[in-house]
Amino acid sequence: MVKRSAIVPPTRVTAVAATMIVVIVLTSTAYLIERYDSLPDLLPVHFRSDGEPDGWQYKTAARVLVPVFVQIALTLTLGAIGLLLLFRQRRSSPDIVHAPDIRAAAVAAEGVLLITLIWVAFQGYAAWALVQMWTTGQAGLGSWYYYLELAGGMITVLVAVRAHRGLGEPVPRPFVAAHWRFGQLYNNPSDPALFVPTRDGRRWTLNFGRPMAAAVLGLIIVLGIVGPTIILGLVLR
CA angle 193, 198, 199 (to 5 degrees): 120
Residue 22, SS3 per DSSP = helix
C-alpha atoms less than 13 angstroms from C-alpha of 202 in its C-beta half-sphere: 2
How many angstroms separate the CA atoms of 120 and 112, rounded?
12
Q: At what angle do helices 66-86 and 12-36 cross, to 10 degrees?
A: 160
Beta bridge partners of 207: 186
Alpha helices in 37-179 (DSSP H): 61-64, 66-86, 100-136, 143-167
Q: Which of 42-46, 178-182, 184-188, 217-221 has the highest mean pLDDT?
A: 42-46
Q: How far is CA 41 from CA 33, 69, 92, in A?
A: 15, 21, 62
Summarised one tens digit per residue, pLDDT across range 73-86 is 888 888 877 777 77
**Of the listed ranges 5-9, 42-46, 107-111, 225-229, the one predicted with least confidence:** 225-229
Instruction: Round to whole Å and give the CA distance between 152 and 157.
Output: 9
Top mean-pLDDT range of 16-30, 47-61, 221-235: 16-30
pLDDT in tens, 197-237: 777 767 777 777 777 666 766 666 666 555 555 554 554 44
Q: How many residues does the chain have?
A: 237
Amino acid at 226: V
Q: How much is the pLDDT for 184? A: 74
Q: How far apart are CA 78 and CA 33, in angstroms?
A: 25
Residue 19's pLDDT is what? 94
pLDDT interval class at 2 (50, 70, 90)? very low
| CA-to-CA dists, residue 12 to 15, 18, 33, 109, angstroms | 5, 10, 32, 11
Rounded percentage of the chain residues whose pLDDT exceeds 70: 75
Residues near 172 by Cβ (< 8 Å), separated by ≥ 6?
197, 201
Number of Cβ within 10 Å of residue 201's Cβ equals 12
Could you write out the three-class secondary structure of 115-126? Answer: HHHHHHHHHHHH
- Name the residue among 104, 85, 80 with its Cα closest to residue 223: 80
Question: Which is it for the CA torsion 20, 86, 169, 200, positive or negative?
Answer: negative
Q: Give the pTM.
A: 0.73
C-alpha to C-alpha distance for 189 and 199, rounded to whole angstroms: 17
